[in-house]
């Protein structure tokens, strides 16, 4: 197939680019295997990536680019000045592009803030709450906590009027401290928070949350966070509960097809991930470069050598896609939450259950089901009171 031939699909919603696998800190729950490598994305590879993505015919609206999978700001500002110019040249004036960066914020300064504002880059900051929780897991390569440096970056963003959201990881140590976590965010003017659970993914083969005894503690943590979410009257928004409200408002519980199309992680090219060498993956972003005895490294081609259409013929891609589809079908037949999520996150299924052709994971229980249950119970109480 040539670059002029179009790939059949529903469209690329998200392009994840790895500028470098290197990270300047060493979180103990990180799933990335190559975070000591200082390789970086070459301009020619970046141009090839954009050219191949656009030639696929799958970009049917604004293209969202996320710089991730390492610490993006570990590269100098000059790298991004050149990279953004390469992208603008490759896409032309008719294609709308937005940029996001997920960062640990330890390297944020005024120059970065000026660049971020100039290009309207959306910023996500990894911050687990107060220092005693954050520093338990998010340490530098000498074993020292990073909280003070992260907060210096947060204050710099705030001083420069740069909007940002926070992603906090829930570990077993956090479960007894929902009040301290939420009070910390409120005290420091952090208004948008998402909670990731400590998952089994990639090189992170253990989680502090796997014990059955932790299930009720996680649910109690989330219920308390929801109380803050409601009581704050918009002063702080929690991603999981906003998504739950949105899912309830828009889900067509009588249509499994609608649910399947809503989950970009289970359809080919819904999310396209490209590493700094130009290697390409799709489905869950966490699969990029992960290792598997059955599927190798989940890389389905290189943008310097193949078109996106060629990926469809890659034998490992086809095997992965078929197994993911089986897992989605299993979810559709067995799970009442299916209309709200469309089949879960393939990477969680594989690394937690050992196969994509499986159903419930910790991600399902705590990120999808629990917030929905909490919101639905609250709506039922409100409706009862209204009557």
User: Given a cut of 60, is residue 7 above it in pLDDT?
Assistant: no
- Residue 386 pLDDT level (bands cut at 50, 70, 90): low
pTM (predicted TM-score): 0.91
- Residue 80 pLDDT level (bands cut at 50, 70, 90): very high
Note the pLDDT of residue 253: 53
User: Given a cut of 70, is residue 135 above it in pLDDT?
Assistant: yes
User: Given a cut of 80, is residue 254 above it in pLDDT?
Assistant: no
Tell me which of 159-168, 255-264, 362-371, 375-384 is least confident. 255-264
Q: How large is the average pLDDT for residues 155-182?
A: 96
Nearest Cα residue to 363 out of 133, 200, 236: 200
- Residue 6 pLDDT level (bands cut at 50, 70, 90): very low
For the chain, how many residues are written? Answer: 387
User: Given a cut of 60, is residue 3 above it in pLDDT?
Assistant: no
User: Given a cut of 50, is residue 25 above it in pLDDT?
Assistant: yes
Q: Determine the Cα–Cα distance for residues 240 and 370; give it in Å rounded to an integer.
A: 9
Mean pLDDT of the chain: 90
Higher pLDDT residue, 35 or 310? 310
Per residue in 216-245, pLDDT (tens digit) is 999 999 999 999 999 988 899 999 999 999
Note the pLDDT of residue 202: 60
Structural domains of the chain in order of their starting residue, each with its CATH number? 14-256 (3.20.20.70)
User: Given a cut of 60, is residue 261 above it in pLDDT?
Assistant: no
User: Given a cut of 70, is residue 2 above it in pLDDT?
Assistant: no
Q: Determine the Cα–Cα distance for residues 7 and 262; give it in Å rounded to an integer.
A: 19
Note the pLDDT of residue 248: 87
Note the pLDDT of residue 132: 97
Nearest Cα residue to 100 out of 74, 76, 120, 73: 120
Contact in structure between 203 and 347 (CB atoms under 8 Å):
no
Nearest Cα residue to 362 out of 195, 245, 224: 195
Residue 238 CB coordination number (10 Å): 23
Q: How large is the average pLDDT for residues 275-298?
A: 91
Note the pLDDT of residue 5: 43
Per residue in 55-79, pLDDT (tens digit) is 999 998 899 999 998 899 999 999 9
What is the side-by-side order of every strand in the sheet holding 164-170?
237-238, 192-197, 164-170, 122-126, 97-103, 63-67, 14-17, 271-274, 280-282
Note the pLDDT of residue 93: 82
- Residue 385 pLDDT level (bands cut at 50, 70, 90): low
Note the pLDDT of residue 199: 79
Q: How large is the average pLDDT for residues 8-15?
A: 77
Note the pLDDT of residue 4: 36
Nearest Cα residue to 20 out of 1, 34, 2, 30: 34
């Amino acid at each position: 197939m040539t670059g002029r031939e179009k790939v059949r699909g529903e469209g690329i919603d998200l392009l994840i680019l790895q500028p470098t696998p290197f990270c300047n800190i060493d979180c103990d729950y990180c799933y990335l295997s190559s975070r000591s490598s200082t390789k970086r994305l070459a301009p020619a590879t970046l141009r090839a990536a954009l050219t191949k993505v656009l030639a696929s015919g799958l970009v049917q609206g604004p293209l969202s680019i996320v710089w991730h999978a390492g610490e993006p700001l570990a590269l100098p500002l000059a790298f991004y000045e050149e990279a953004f110019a390469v992208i603008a040249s490759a896409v032309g004036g008719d294609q709308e592009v937005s940029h996001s960066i997920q960062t640990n914020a330890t390297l944020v300064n005024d120059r970065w803030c000026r660049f971020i504002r100039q290009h309207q880059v959306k910023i996500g900051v990894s911050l687990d709450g107060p220092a005693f929780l954050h520093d338990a897991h998010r340490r530098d390569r000498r074993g020292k906590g990073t909280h003070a440096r992260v907060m210096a970056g947060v204050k710099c963003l705030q001083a420069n009027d740069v909007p940002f959201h926070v992603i906090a990881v829930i570990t077993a140590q956090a479960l007894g401290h929902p009040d301290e976590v939420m009070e910390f965010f409120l005290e420091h003017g952090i208004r948008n928070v998402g909670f990731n659970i400590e998952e089994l993914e990639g090189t992170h083969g253990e989680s502090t949350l796997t014990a059955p005894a932790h299930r009720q503690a996680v649910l109690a943590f989330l219920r308390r966070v929801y109380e803050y979410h409601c009581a704050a009257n918009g002063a702080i928004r929690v991603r999981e509960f906003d998504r739950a409200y949105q899912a309830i408002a828009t889900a067509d519980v009588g249509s499994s097809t609608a649910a399947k199309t809503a989950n970009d992680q289970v359809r080919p090219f819904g999310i396209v991930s490209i590493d700094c060498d130009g290697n390409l993956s799709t489905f869950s972003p966490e699969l990029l470069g992960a290792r598997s005895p059955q599927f190798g490294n989940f890389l389905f081609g290189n943008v310097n050598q193949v078109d996106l259409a060629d990926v469809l013929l890659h034998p490992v891609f086809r095997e992965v896609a078929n197994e993911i589809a089986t897992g989605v079908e299993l979810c559709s037949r067995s799970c009442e939450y299916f209309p709200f999520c469309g089949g879960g996150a393939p990477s969680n299924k594989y690394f937690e259950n050992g196969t994509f052709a499986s159903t419930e994971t910790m991600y399902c229980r705590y990120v999808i089901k629990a917030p929905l249950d909490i919101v639905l119970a609250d709506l039922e109480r409100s409706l009862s009171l209204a009557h």
